[in-house]
DNA sequence: CGCATTCACTTAACATGTTAAGTATCTCCG
DNA sequence: CGGAGATACTTAACATGTTAAGTGAATGCG
């Protein structure tokens, strides 16, 4: 699994490369990507059994926690772009997992809510989902996990909006 | 930016929901996603100016650090799936940023390497890229960044392969 | 040797990410 | 009130993510 054949060829590779650029596999974006993938890899099989993708699950979870929402608000909550959300909502509606109705006061807005079927589906996924989360917590350590979550939040906040300085000393 | 109109409608929403599921926006996958997006948002404009996507940049960086590589090895290094890599390599080759040649010893394998043009392009992007990284380091704090990187690596390792226990105390 | 299996990719097909353009509705100001 | 501009989506178009299937080249074993 770790060894590859044809390694005899490598003996003839040029030497070169003094500065390996500090191993780009340790760069922050790569570490975040890999960490997230490692986490999601735990969840995907269970979601898949229930016919849900990661994004669909995010939407249902978001809806379950906020009752009804406008599409724009839902996009913000589930961290999806409008076009992605638009497509996924179309599919979820066709599967009767959500419901939409145009807002009375503003014909442009549509209110989205989870349907009875959607609630049932969530109920059937939640147990295994929570078990997996618990397993992750146990493997990595609850204390460390909390720390990590805190740092991730801080990182996001420290990189938000302002173009230059940090927000605690923002002059606005 | 924070207030929404039409809130008067919400008064008629059913009460319900005792357990808000601990705000799913604070779940680990979501935090990782948001953090990564916050980071990449810093880099994308610069990459875009040079006509590169995030993935293309990953591939060039990977190639720059390992001279030549088989496609499979490159996929592992740049953390891309085979099909994505296949397509992107096709495009990068058409733009003369990389070169490929079939391995002498094994006709199935193809060796990919960065071209002279590719090296030049990297050289033109690297400065602003490093400046952005430095800016991030400064905003978040070098110390905290190092800690975060360490934790992300640990998280990934702790979730690797084994189906149940953690590897330090694994009973195999 | 011969042929089933494995291997290293590539293609295909479909979902999502991402930017730009389109559509209907609403707001506001003259 | 009426039309310019802003809003809330939706569509379109293209790149990537993701799984499955296809293709051609090595391997292994009888």
* ipTM of the complex model: 0.84
Nucleotide nearest to A44 (CA to C1'): D18
Q: Are A59 and A82 in contact (CB under 8 A)?
A: no
Structural tokens at position A48: 């898949």
Look at B27 and A136 and tell me if their CB atoms are within 8 Å.
Answer: no
Look at B28 and A103 and tell me if their CB atoms are within 8 Å.
Answer: no
B41 — contact with chain A (CB < 8 Å)?
yes
**Residues of chain A contacting B64 with CB distance shorter than 8 Å:** 21
How many helices and strands, by DSSP H and E, does chain B display? 6, 3
The least confident of B136-140, B147-151, B167-171 is: B167-171
**pLDDT at residue B19 tops 60:** no
- Nucleotides of strand C lying closer than 7 angstroms to a protein CB: 7-13, 15-20, 24-27
Asked whether residue A120, judged by its CB, lies under 7 Å from any atom of the DNA or RNA strand C, the reply is: no
Residue from B116, B101, B107 nearest B69 by CA = B101
- For residue range B80-121, what is the model confidence (pLDDT) as tens digits? 999 999 999 999 999 999 999 999 899 999 999 999 999 999
DSSP label of B40 = H
Look at B149 and A39 and tell me if their CB atoms are within 8 Å.
Answer: no
Looking at the partner chain, which of A20, A61, A148 has a beta carbon nearest the beta carbon of B24?
A61
Looking at the partner chain, which of B4, B35, B43 has a beta carbon nearest the beta carbon of A32?
B35
Secondary structure of residue A85 in the 3-state scheme = helix
Strands (E), B8-155: 68-70, 98-102, 110-114
The predicted structure's pLDDT at residue B160: 85
Look at A39 and B28 and tell me if their CB atoms are within 8 Å.
Answer: yes
Which residues of B, range 126-145, sit inside 8 Å of A by Cβ? 133, 136, 139-140, 144-145
Q: Are B150 and B89 in contact (CB under 8 A)?
A: no
Sign of torsion over alpha carbons B92, B98, B101, B107: negative
Please report, rounded to whole angstroms, the spatial distance between the CA atom of protein residue B43 and the C1' atom of nucleotide C8.
33
Asked whether residue B86, judged by its CB, lies under 7 Å from any atom of the DNA or RNA strand C, the reply is: yes
Asked whether residue B110, judged by its CB, lies under 7 Å from any atom of the DNA or RNA strand C, the reply is: yes
Q: Are A117 and A51 in contact (CB under 8 A)?
A: no
Q: List the domains of chain B with CATH numbers.
A: 29-149 (1.10.10.10)
Q: What are phi and psi of A121, to 5 degrees?
A: -60, -45
The predicted structure's pLDDT at residue A166: 40
Asked whether residue B119, judged by its CB, lies under 7 Å from any atom of the DNA or RNA strand C, the reply is: no
Asked whether residue B39, judged by its CB, lies under 7 Å from any atom of the DNA or RNA strand C, the reply is: no
The predicted structure's pLDDT at residue A22: 57
Element (H, E) at A100: strand A98-102
The predicted structure's pLDDT at residue A162: 62
Beta-bridge mates of residue A68: A113
Q: Are A100 and A110 in contact (CB under 8 A)?
A: yes
pLDDT in tens, chain A (172 residues): 333 333 333 333 333 344 444 578 889 999 999 999 999 999 999 999 899 999 999 999 999 988 889 999 999 999 999 999 999 999 999 999 999 999 999 999 999 999 999 999 999 999 999 999 999 999 999 999 999 999 999 999 999 866 544 434 333 3
First and final C-alpha spacing in chain B: 54
The predicted structure's pLDDT at residue A72: 95
Structural tokens at position A16: 């070169």
Looking at the partner chain, which of B31, B54, B65 has a beta carbon nearest the beta carbon of A20?
B65
- For residue range B26-66, what is the model confidence (pLDDT) as tens digits? 899 999 999 999 999 999 999 998 999 999 999 999 999 88
The predicted structure's pLDDT at residue A66: 85
First and final C-alpha spacing in chain A: 56
CA B161-A136-A84 angle, to 5 degrees, is 90
Instruction: Tell me the pLDDT band of B75, cut-offs 50, 70 and 90.
Output: very high
Asked whether residue A81, judged by its CB, lies under 7 Å from any atom of the DNA or RNA strand C, the reply is: yes
The predicted structure's pLDDT at residue B8: 31
């Amino acid at each position: 699994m770790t060894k590859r054949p044809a390694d005899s060829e490598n003996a003839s590779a040029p030497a070169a490369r003094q500065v390996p650029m500090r191993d780009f596999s340790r760069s922050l974006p790569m570490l975040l990507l890999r960490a997230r993938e490692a986490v999601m890899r735990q969840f995907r099989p269970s979601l898949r059994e229930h016919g849900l993708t990661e994004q669909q699950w995010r939407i249902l979870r978001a809806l379950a926690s906020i009752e009804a929402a406008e599409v724009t608000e839902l996009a913000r909550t589930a961290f999806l772009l409008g076009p992605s959300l638009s497509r996924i909502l179309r599919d979820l509606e066709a599967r009767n997992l959500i419901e939409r109705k145009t807002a009375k006061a503003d014909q442009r807005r549509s209110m989205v809510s989870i349907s009875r079927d959607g609630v049932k589906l969530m109920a059937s996924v939640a147990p295994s989902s929570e078990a997996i989360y618990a397993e992750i917590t146990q493997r990595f350590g609850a204390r460390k996990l909390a720390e990590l979550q805190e740092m991730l939040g801080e990182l996001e906040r420290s990189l938000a909006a302002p173009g230059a300085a940090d927000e605690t000393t923002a002059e606005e």
